[in-house]
Amino acid sequence: MRTSKLLLTVAHRFAILAYIVVALFPLFWLLKVSVTPNDLLYSEGVRMWPSRATFEHYTFVIAHSAFPTFFKNSLIVAGSTAVAVTILASLAGYALSRFRFRAKYWIVALMLITQMFPLVMLVAPIFKMLSPLGLTNSLTGLVIVYTAFNVPFATFLMQSFFDGIPKDLEEAAMIDGATQFVAFRQIILPLTLPGIAATLGFVFTAAWSELLFALMLISGNDAATFPVGLLTFVSKFSVDFGQMMAAGILALIPACLFFLLIQRYLVQGLTAGAVKG
Amino acid sequence: MASIDIQSIRKSFGTFPVLHGVDLAIRDGEFIVLVGPSGCGKSTLLRMIAGLEDVTAGEIRIDGKRVNDLAPKDRDIAMVFQSYALYPHMSVADNMSYSLRLRRAAREKIVSAVGGAAAKLGLEPLLERRPRALSGGQRQRVAMGRAIVRQPKAFLFDEPLSNLDARLREQMRAEIKKLHGDLRATSIYVTHDQIEAMTLADRIVAMHAGVVQQVGTPLDLYDRPANLFVAGFIGSPGMNFFEGRYAASGGEAALHLSNGTILPLGRRDGIAAGAPTTLGIRPEHVVLDPRGALEARVDLIEPTGFGIIMHVTIHDVPLKIFTLDRAMLDPGPAVRVDLPQERLHLFDGEGKRLD
């Protein structure tokens, strides 16, 4: 009995370990290449770690390339998109979760339909729309496009979080003397923090790594985001793998920090104890 | 404190009607219990008084003022929910003071009101805790505290005890009654538990299928149920019924059951001969007597500790008897019973009481 339980635990741990190794191996390879000096990249063959490690690619990327600009642009675009989408999706998700109104069914259907098209189909019309407005080659334009594309899914996500919060709570608040909006802000929103964190994280990473629109709507380095910037390491005759990987590692940092920041809310079950449990 | 007047209230969800014209006048300080099986519309009626559901037709007045179109926050009522609905991210003290803080009451007033309510309910040691760190009974108490802090015009209770275990329910029931004695606040209490209804109410409103069946004191409903529904709903174990046809010959009236059995009724006027009639008698009123007129076959004995519930059959008609006689734990295959005339209830073909 005891040994079989132990065996199960060991097997369980090994399964998790195997998964982690598979999932994280590309990241490890990214790191490995980023610290491999150029002269060793092709000469040493395939090995797990170069015989000599260097940070020269990092110094070059930070000091001598346009990467800090790409980085700043990406931060602005992803951050603004995440905030804008989360605010819109919270309000819309709350409405879908709690109110009965005319055409609700059609609005939901319409939002679903927007999720059905391959983005490639929409690039040309969107460019055509943004161009006369002066929104091509601008970060604002990117934020608007990303927001529009992320709001429907984020709304459904937020709606499911609101659905999980008992209606009794805001009814109690309304009887206590709150308007529906005050009840939403003071009672419901604090309880939806895990949902808000999840939505923020989801939208931030989506906007952070988006390539297609960034590539099509932005020309020139001034307004380019980091996924576009990565392409500058590919020239006609060679690919500068070391610098590209170093830039990739650097680009991971904000996303990691962001998730560290919100993970507390992601795992917290704040509604425990609200109602009989 | 205030009176509440409900005049021909109707409610439909879409095209589906759930309340068919309810009239009720609740006096200042009265404890009213709405009782009925699930789906009878009692909770809907309560939520309409609270302002959480729209009124389809009719009028609700609190203290003489029409409140149909008033938001819940402007009705000055407090409500205790079945789920307690405590704000999980606030401490007990903050839960209780939320309504006062929304009204921007002075700090000293909030502190004294919360302190007073906490003392009344024994919540003082818990004031800094979050709801999730409380037991079911404590949460229930906090929900009550949140209601009494504000001294509203009326208290509404939506099955507040149904999530508690039996022992705690009994204790909280007594506490609610004591609290009402202290505060004398107009209260409307929804439950499907007839013991709660009987013990707490000044007046009971028995509801079924969106219609008020009877309004009266607990003993009114027990002694003189207005129809078959109330007769069957109030009392535990439930009332026994015999369906048959009324027959009178000479000075004696009787009920002819479909299987040929004749139950004597004594003298009853104003009932047409042959009219379909239902006879009811409560299990605790059936008399066990070795010289009784009817022979009953014993099917099952259920001892409750306090007394014994006997399931018997009289000429193929099932009957329940409640007795305190311990000798009935082993009654043998058959007993003889009497149905005392003065304990019989008669109902007509539509189920309405006859006297």
Sketch out chain B's domains with CATH numbers: 4-233 (3.40.50.300), 240-354 (no CATH)
> pTM value?
0.81
Hunting for tokens 């007594």 — which residue is that?
B174
pLDDT number for residue A266:
66
d(CA B187, CA B184): 9
Most confident of A238-242, B139-143, B351-355: B139-143
Hunting for tokens 């009814």 — which residue is that?
A171
Rounded average pLDDT over B23-52: 94
Mean pLDDT score across all residues of chain A: 86
Rounded average pLDDT over A203-216: 87
Chain A partners within 8 Å of B114 (Cβ): none
Residue A273, chain B, CB below 8 Å: the answer is yes
* Residue pair A218/A225 in contact by the 8 Å Cβ criterion: yes
Q: State whether the Cα torsion A240-A242-A248-A250 is positive or negative.
A: negative
Chosen for mutation from A169, A175, A181 (greatest number of chain B CBs closer than 10 Å) is A175
- Cβ neighbours for B176, distance < 8 A, ≥ 6 positions apart: B144, B157, B160, B189, B200
Interface ipTM: 0.86
Chain B partners within 8 Å of A171 (Cβ): 50, 52, 72, 79, 81, 85
User: Over the stretch A27-75, which tens digit does the pLDDT of each residue have?
Assistant: 999 999 888 888 887 787 778 888 888 888 888 888 888 888 888 999 9
A173 and B131 within 8 Å at the Cβ level: the answer is no
Reduced to 3 states (helix: H, G, I; strand: E, B; else coil), residue A20 is helix
A177 and B73 within 8 Å at the Cβ level: the answer is yes
A172 and B85 within 8 Å at the Cβ level: the answer is yes
d(CA B47, CA B53): 6
d(CA B49, CA A176): 14
pLDDT number for residue A273:
40
Strand partners, B253: B248, B266
Burial class of B136 by CB neighbour count within 10 A (0 to 12, 13 to 18, 19+): middle
User: Over the stretch B157-194, which tens digit does the pLDDT of each residue have?
Assistant: 999 998 888 888 999 999 999 999 988 999 999 999 98
Which has the closest alpha carbon to B168: B208, B206, B141, B132? B141
User: Over the stretch B75-107, which tens digit does the pLDDT of each residue have?
Assistant: 999 999 999 999 999 999 999 999 999 999 999
Which of A164-168, A254-258, B45-49, B92-96 has the lowest average pLDDT? A254-258
Share in percent of chain A as helix, strand, coil (round to 5): 75, 0, 25
- Which residue is closest to A100 within chain B, CA to CA? B14
- Which residue is closest to A178 within chain B, CA to CA? B73
d(CA B54, CA A105): 22
Does the pLDDT of residue A271 top 70, yes or no?
Answer: no
d(CA B87, CA A173): 9
